[in-house]
Amino acid sequence: MSYLINLFEQHSYLILFIGIFLELMALPISGEFLMSYAGYFVFQGTMNYLLALLTVFVAGGAGITVTYWIGKAGGYKLIEKYGKYIHLGPERYKKVSA
């Protein structure tokens, strides 16, 4: 665990950005967990509050934008092609959308 804390201390803004970005790309990563560590490091003075907040806002905006463009470009075609791998086939998609 101390290795992860040291890694987060050394690359805090990058890990925070990547974690929030991947969370908004619907990967099972806990952004709340990363934000709690960021808050702890801000409290300790090892991270800048405004820079951490800006990192989260930029990561959130980028993640939402990329997710939007994936949906706009692929949309239902992606569900038809790859939905079976995440248990969301065409019939289930129609049921959920209704």
pLDDT for residue 33: 86
Residue labelled with tokens 């038809």: 80
Residue 48 DSSP label: -
Query: DSSP letters of 5-38?
Result: HHHHHHTHHHHHHHHHHHHHTT-S--HHHHHHHH
pLDDT for residue 1: 65
Grouped pLDDT means (10 residues each) for the chain, 98 residues? 77 91 86 87 92 95 92 80 77 79
Residue 2 and residue 45 in contact, taking contact as beta carbons nearer than 8 Å: no
